[in-house]
Structure 1
Amino acid sequence: MCQLLGMNCNVPTDICFSFEGFRARGGRTDLHSDGWGIAFFEDQGCRLFLDDKASAESAIAELVRDYPIRSLNVIAHIRKATHGHVALQNTHPFQRELWGRYWVFAHNGELKDFTPTDKGRFRPVGDTDSEAAFCHILNTLQQHYPQQQPTPVKLLKSLRKISNDIARHGMFNFLLSNGELLLAYCATDLNYVLRKA
């Protein structure tokens, strides 16, 4: 299974300390060596770094480590491939635009017999169950709210229903952010650290 790291802060913060330990799990201290990625939200923009190499050996990961990007919301992922071959297009986090904002998604788990037949504008580029789930989430949200993002309460209610439906197909843990919100859905064990400044 893949591993996820998310950070949500009230002031822009770098993730260097947490990222270094997480990065080592990508091929040095653990077996997650099938690619990695990290997304940093900055205002309405999003910096996305992806590599299909193990994060422990990645020159791009060294760049991220040495370049302390400050952000309110960060999503990182190290991959152990279960669906889809090892390739850049299958590397998380995935990014799409909805309602004029970037949305970023990373998944841990494995979905069996999950083949959505969405007719919406969001389509997977790679061949992972994860990207198919992300596109299905966005297509369903856009179908229910075609003009603009709903209130946070309505958004969470819709996401809970969509996610519960997807989770019927197997293990489905994910992080999702639009730069304002960082959402975690957990079908197994949720671990987190709360640090206060």
Structure 2
Amino acid sequence: MCELLAMSANTPTDLCFSFTGLTRRGGDTGPHKDGWGVAFYEGKGVRAFHDVDASSNSRLAEVVQTHPIKSEVAICHIRQANVGDICLANTHPFKRELWGRYWVFAHNGQLSDFRPSPGFYEPVGDTDSEALFCDILNHLRKQCDRNDPAEVIARHLVELSQAYAGQGVFNLLLSNGDWLFTYCSTKMASITRRAPFGPARLKDADVIVDFESETTPNDIVSVIVTEPLTSDEEWDIYQPGEWRLWRKGIVEARGMAVSGQNAAAGH
């Protein structure tokens, strides 16, 4: 399986600390050595980096770790290949345009026999993940409108996610730059950092950061991951079937998708 990392913040924030922890799991402290990618939203644009090398020894990953690219939404993925060759075309996160915005997608899991419905969007590579992304966008293009609020889009995403999870493991990160949708099929965790800020230590690298010196009292920064990245903070563990809609570091809506019943609650 792969590992996911996302950030939602109310102010442009760099991902250097969390990204450094995740990259160690790409071939050093973890087996996810089959490439990595990260996408940072900057306004309506996306700055993306992809590499087929293991993130733990990628020179490009070193650049991202040490260059503080600031963003309100970022999505990252380290890959352990199970479907598709190890190549750039199969490296997450994937990006497509819909309704005048770039949508970015990353997936942890496997639906080995998945076949997307024919539609406008087609995969470039041969992973089940990219096929799922195209299937999601084709459904949204048919069933929704560009002016639909995020909560309406989220309802469709919950239904689709539940259907996919019924066919295999489906842990999802999806954003259009305004909001971030997350769905947990098996494993996911999050943490929201706000004042008063304190220090944190990575599990996978000998790195400590004092967030108080890096932030302002008004900052809200949430990090969503497959496995907690720090050893001295309390992470909020998702339940299987749980979904959350994030915007500017806050959960705006959340719920459970279990046994065909979608329960939503505002936050």
TM-score, with structure 2 as normaliser: 0.71
Cα offset, 1:189, TM superposition? 2.5
Cα offset, 1:150, TM superposition? 1.5
AA of the residue aligned to 1:184 = T
Provide the C-alpha distance between the structure 1 equivalents of 2:147 and 2:188, rounded to a whole number of angstroms.
27
What secondary structure is seen at the aligned counterpart in 2 of 1:179? coil
Cα offset, 1:85, TM superposition? 1.0
AA of the residue aligned to 1:65 = Q
Cα offset, 1:162, TM superposition? 1.2
Cα offset, 1:63, TM superposition? 1.1
Work out the number of aligned pairs and report it. Answer: 195
1:20-71 CA-partner distances (Å, limit 9, x unpaired): 0101110111110000000000111000100011011111111111211000
Structure 1 moving runs of 4+ over 3 Å: none
Higher helix share: 1
AA of the residue aligned to 1:152 = A
Q: What is the aligned counterpart of 1:179 among 177, 180, 190? A: 177
Name 1:128's counterpart in structure 2: 127
Name 1:29's counterpart in structure 2: 29
Q: Identify unmatched segments of 5+ residues in structure 1.
A: none
Provide the C-alpha distance between the structure 2 equivalents of 1:127 and 1:99, rounded to a whole number of angstroms.
25
Name 1:144's counterpart in structure 2: 143
Higher strand share: 2
What secondary structure is seen at the aligned counterpart in 2 of 1:28? coil
Mapping 1:32-71, distance limit 5 Å: 32-71=32-71
Between 83-92 and 108-117, report the one with greater CA deviation: 108-117
What secondary structure is seen at the aligned counterpart in 1 of 2:174? strand
Between 96-105 and 186-195, report the one with greater CA deviation: 186-195
CA contact (8 A) 2:116 2:134 kept: no
Name 1:89's counterpart in structure 2: 89
Q: Does 1:195 align with 2:193?
A: yes
Provide the C-alpha distance between the structure 1 equivalents of 2:193 and 2:161, rounded to a whole number of angstroms.
28
Cα offset, 1:149, TM superposition? 4.3
What secondary structure is seen at the aligned counterpart in 2 of 1:192? strand
Cα offset, 1:112, TM superposition? 2.8
CA contact (8 A) 1:99 1:149 kept: no
Provide the C-alpha distance between the structure 1 equivalents of 2:189 and 2:77, rounded to a whole number of angstroms.
15
Distance change (3 Å), C-alpha of 1:84 and 1:149: farther
Name 1:163's counterpart in structure 2: 161
Quote the RMSD (CA, aligned, Å). Answer: 1.0
What secondary structure is seen at the aligned counterpart in 2 of 1:60? helix
Q: What is the aligned counterpart of 1:153 among 142, 151, 154? A: 151
Percentage identity across aligned positions? 52
Provide the C-alpha distance between the structure 2 equivalents of 1:117 and 1:189, rounded to a whole number of angstroms.
27
